Amino acid sequence: MTLWVAVLLACALAYATKLAGHLVPARRLEGRRMRRVTGLLPVALLTSLVVVQTFGSPTGGFVVDARVVGLGAAVVALLLRAPFIVVVIVGAVVAAGLRAVGWA
Amino acid sequence: MADEGADRSPQRLEPAARAAVLRQAWSVGLATGAYGISFGALGVASGLDAWQTCALSALMFTGGSQFAFVGVVGAGGTGIAAIATATLLGIRNGLYGLQVSEFLHDRGWRRAVAAQLTIDESTAVGIAQPSRRGSQVGFWHTGIAVYLFWNLFTLAGAILGNQLGDPRRWGLDAAAAAAFVALLWPRLHSRDAAATAAVAVVLTVAVAPWAPAGIPVLVAALAAVLVGLSPRRAPSAPPASGGSS
């Protein structure tokens, strides 16, 4: 599958999901358990993405490098109620700074 | 739009109320749209070209899924894994659609456009308004504002990202981790969410050494199923008619 096909397919599925919500009668999806699972789904996926993006190595397995410190700084920024863009920049700047001075 | 305002909500908003909704909508739009610049830069850093990166913002238009898609691709995952992760993360937009269609009542092409604009921010601003008309104005203006700024800033980020060279040198890999943790942060407020996150970490760490890139994240989705189907903890569950969540 070329990257373009993947991009367009993922976009089509994203739109279909959104549209389905508007078309399905509201009472249809009331199952409490299903709602609970789908409500928690973003938490599970995003948590896993944090782990993979922080520790994943291109050769498989985990490594500890400047990204961990960048993530720690980002969490501190979140604790200080910084807006999204600031959190992202703090993570990048800290990791880039550590690499610039030769650490990891 | 003839049938709106059947319940206590007025047909038209007071000018002051309307101005307040618009101010909220466009400031949320600008603030959210601005981080499109980090998505644009990460997109090209992950190996997508600028067109593909911009196509994601224009067509997929749901930040979490977009970050996930480029994250999986950047980690060397397959197209299928990227599609699956992005789609699972986008399921919540379907649930938002259910809520939004309760106050929107649009048909035809307006409903088709409203569906594309159904994301975290437009839904949140829409639901937060006290009147039905306010909800409609809030939803549409927030959706349009985010769409506009998100796409503009994505383009800027993609162009910028192409000038940067090695993304690691600029800490863009750490920026992606920071973006995910910032998206996760506001969702960690409940015990269920904390338990789900903990299980997701365990699953990811257990699977990652053996599985190809992109698969650990999908396995971690099981954490939502495990916690979601487990019995609720007693203290916070009032009998019957409670249920405000």
Q: Which residues of B touch A10 (CB under 8 A)?
A: 56, 60, 65, 69, 82-83, 86-87
The amino acid at B160: L
CA distance A80 to chain B (A): 12
pLDDT band at residue A26, thresholds of 50, 70 and 90? low
Contact B93 A46 (CB under 8 A): no
Q: Write down the mean pLDDT value for chain A.
A: 89
Q: Which residues of B touch A44 (CB under 8 A)?
A: 196-197, 199-200, 220-224
Report yes or no: B6 at the A interface, CB cutoff 8 Å.
no
So what's the pLDDT on residue B111? Answer: 96
So what's the pLDDT on residue A14? Answer: 97
Q: Which chain A residue is nearest to residue B116, measuring alpha carbons?
A: A15
Contact A50 B79 (CB under 8 A): no
Contact A46 B209 (CB under 8 A): no
Contact A62 B172 (CB under 8 A): no
Question: String of b and e for B130-166 (b: at least 16 CB within 10 Å)?
Answer: ebbbbbbbbbbbbbbbbbebbbbbbbebbbebeeeee
Q: In 3D, which of A55, A61, A16, A33 has the Cα closest to residue B83? A: A16
So what's the pLDDT on residue B173? Answer: 85
Q: Which chain B residue is nearest to residue A85, measuring alpha carbons?
A: B35
Identity of the residue in B96, B185, B222 whose CB atom sits nearest the CB atom of A78 = B185
Report yes or no: A80 at the B interface, CB cutoff 8 Å.
no
Cβ under 8 Å to A: B residues 120-179: 168-179
pLDDT band at residue A9, thresholds of 50, 70 and 90? very high
Report yes or no: A104 at the B interface, CB cutoff 8 Å.
no
**pLDDT 10s digit of each residue in chain B, 245 long?**
444 444 444 467 899 999 989 988 998 888 788 878 889 999 999 999 999 999 999 999 999 999 999 999 998 899 999 999 999 989 889 988 988 998 998 889 999 999 999 998 899 889 888 899 999 999 999 999 999 999 999 999 999 988 887 778 888 889 888 988 998 998 898 999 999 999 999 999 999 888 877 788 889 999 999 999 998 765 554 444 433 33
pLDDT at A36 > cutoff 50: yes
**Eight-class DSSP state of B58:** I
Task: Answer yes or no: are the C-beta atoms of B66 and A13 closer than 8 Å.
Answer: no
Residue with tokens 């466009």, as numbered in its chain = B26
Q: How far is CA B116 from CA B46, B185, B190, in A?
A: 25, 25, 29
So what's the pLDDT on residue A5? Answer: 97
Cα–Cα distance for residue pair B94/B186, rounded to 1 Å: 20
Cβ under 8 Å to A: B residues 13-42: 31-32, 34-35, 37-38
So what's the pLDDT on residue A27? Answer: 61
Q: Which chain B residue is nearest to residue A19, measuring alpha carbons?
A: B115
Helix/strand/coil (H, E, C) string of B94-147? HHHHHHHHHHHCCCHHHHHHHHHCCCHHHHHHHHHCCCHHHHHHHHHHHHHHHH
So what's the pLDDT on residue B5? Answer: 41
Identity of the residue in B52, B65, B168 whose CB atom sits nearest the CB atom of A14 = B65
CA distance B190 to chain A (A): 10
Task: Answer yes or no: are the C-beta atoms of A81 and B208 closer than 8 Å.
Answer: no
Two structure tokens written together for A62: 């985990």
Contact B101 A99 (CB under 8 A): no
How many Å separate Cα A82 from the centre of its chain? Answer: 18
So what's the pLDDT on residue B58? Answer: 98
